[in-house]
Amino acid sequence: MKKKIVFVIRDLGYGGAQRQLITLAKNLDKEKFIVTVIFFYADGLLQKDLEDNNIEIVCLEKRERWDIFRFFWRFFGHLQRIQPDWLHGYLSESNLLTIFLKPFFPSTFIFWGIRDSNISFDSYDWLDRLIFELECLLSRFVDLIIVNSHAGQAYHLSHGFPANKMVVIPNGIDTERFQLDLEAGLVVRTEWGILKDTILIGLVGRLDPMKDHPTFLKAAALLCKEREDVRFVCVGTGSQSYGQELYQLAKELGINEKVIWVGGRADMPAIYNALDITCSSSGYGEGFSNVIGEAMACGVPCVVTNVGDSAWIIGDTGVVVPPSNPEALKTGITSLINVISSEDYSPSHIRQRIISDFSVFNLSLKTQNALLSKSLS
């Protein structure tokens, strides 16, 4: 008999956790699992991918933060209809919601998905801190906690999460979608007015303090003092006010004409192929960076800060620098520019690292085994 699994997430907008949930939902064994994805807020740009793969989706049409009782009742009704064997939360809000429902569905196994590490609440409000504290308190009642990074596991263990209920399963990168495509990259470079001999360095990620765009921009300014053949691009959406702060910083640094600002894009494989180097300047909180894995699958070398599992992901295919250090980031980018044409940094070598260790097949197989083994224990 097929097992019914319900994934729960806040929304289906562009985001690393959302993309990983969709990737997993699409690749679970259809002979063993019936998959439903329930999400809080409508108009997610990624939900079409699930619809195209005949996966049931349910939007709870949450109106705003404090729309609680109507929202909870709708959720409860859908679970009564589905009667899932497994209920799998993705991220903090969803995790808490699943554990509050456990008394009503005693035979359903509750799984949590943890996607971050070393959280800093300075840039978030009191509710985010409260949700995390509740997660720490209630984590002992969960059946299984799946963490996507070793750094995330260590951080949550230090905050009281139970070691015997945690397992690390790295993200899976869709290497069929993310692969070398120089023609697609050339189209994007032409769109942006980037000449063939110009070195294009990109930061892909939402406009969020965790991603530390200021360090990237300051490193870019330092590099521009040494080279004329570099341009920079920031791809991602986020807070409009924070975005304005970053635009102003680029202007103050004198590099506003050297930086291209791009919102959310659906053609991410082409975006990566347009880059000569991908940069991850995260200062904290990163677990397993999808961006690094996707860029590498496209054969693009990466310079990353030593945050989360970033250093482990790139292995010997890129450069690791300390976080929040523009000079170190500039030096790392320069060192990679100097060796980018060597065999050790060839696109095929970089891509093979992802195929071997972080494939979608590995993600789905490890997740299936974890779910089934926990259910049988």
Q: Do residue 85 and residue 193 come from a single domain?
A: no
pLDDT for position 376 = 62
pLDDT for position 334 = 97
pLDDT for position 337 = 95
In a domain, 58, yes or no: yes
Domain of 332, CATH number, reads 3.40.50.2000
DSSP character string of 231-294 = EEEEE--B-HHHHHHHHHHHHHTT-TTTEEEE---S-HHHHHHH-SEEEE---S--SS-HHHHH
**C-alpha 221: how far from chain center:** 27
Least confident range of 75-89, 195-209, 293-307, 336-350: 336-350
Structure tokens at 32: 């063993």
CA dist., res. 119 & res. 132, Å (int): 9
Average pLDDT, the chain: 92
For the chain, percent of residues with pLDDT exceeding 70: 98
Least confident range of 223-227, 242-246, 370-374: 370-374
For the chain, percent of residues with pLDDT exceeding 90: 76
In a domain, 298, yes or no: yes
In a domain, 177, yes or no: no
CA dist., res. 254 & res. 257, Å (int): 8
Average pLDDT over residues 286-306: 96
Q: Do residue 223 and residue 265 come from a single domain?
A: yes
- Residue 53: name the closest of 38, 35, 75 by CA: 35
Q: Do residue 309 and residue 248 come from a single domain?
A: yes
pTM over 0.75: yes
Pairing of strands 277-280, 302-305: parallel
**What residue has token string 């110009």?**
198
Q: For the chain, what is the largest distance between any 2 Cα atoms, rounded to a whole number of angstroms?
A: 65
Pairing of strands 144-147, 3-9: unpaired
Structure tokens at 260: 């291209």
Beta bridge partners of 167: 146
Instruction: Please report, to the nearest 10 degrees, the dihedral formed by the alpha carbons of residues 133, 134, 136, 138 taken in order.
Output: 170
Band of residue 94 on the pLDDT scale cut at 50, 70, 90: very high
In a domain, 38, yes or no: yes
What residue numbers bound the domain in which 260 lies?
A: 182-357
pLDDT for position 67 = 80
Q: Do residue 365 and residue 312 come from a single domain?
A: no
In a domain, 260, yes or no: yes
3-state secondary structure of 166: strand
CA dist., res. 291 & res. 205, Å (int): 7
Average pLDDT over residues 213-234: 97
Least confident range of 19-23, 127-131, 199-203, 325-329: 127-131
Band of residue 123 on the pLDDT scale cut at 50, 70, 90: low
Q: Do residue 168 and residue 245 come from a single domain?
A: no
In a domain, 256, yes or no: yes
In a domain, 198, yes or no: yes
Q: Between residues 272 and 375, which one has the greater pLDDT? A: 272
**What residue has token string 């482990």?**
312
Q: Do residue 366 and residue 256 come from a single domain?
A: no
Structure tokens at 172: 């899976």
Average pLDDT over residues 133-141: 94
User: Among positive and negative, which fits the CA dihedral 260, 265, 270, 272?
Assistant: positive
- Count of structural domains within the chain: 2
CA dist., res. 252 & res. 239, Å (int): 20
Beta bridge partners of 9: 39
Q: Do residue 151 and residue 197 come from a single domain?
A: no
pLDDT for position 117 = 81
Q: Do residue 224 and residue 132 come from a single domain?
A: no
Q: Do residue 114 and residue 226 come from a single domain?
A: no
In a domain, 31, yes or no: yes
Structure tokens at 249: 């910083």
Beta bridge partners of 109: 86
Q: Do residue 319 and residue 365 come from a single domain?
A: no
Structure tokens at 35: 């998959």
Q: Do residue 220 and residue 315 come from a single domain?
A: yes
Q: Is the pLDDT of residue 90 over 80?
A: yes
What are the DSSP E strand ranges found in the chain?
Answer: 3-9, 33-39, 56-59, 86-90, 109-114, 144-147, 166-168, 199-204, 230-235, 259-262, 277-280, 302-305, 319-321
**C-alpha 89: how far from chain center:** 15
- Residue 59: name the closest of 362, 271, 71 by CA: 71
CA dist., res. 331 & res. 309, Å (int): 21
CA dist., res. 275 & res. 347, Å (int): 12
Average pLDDT over residues 74-82: 95
Q: Do residue 157 and residue 195 come from a single domain?
A: no
3-state secondary structure of 173: strand
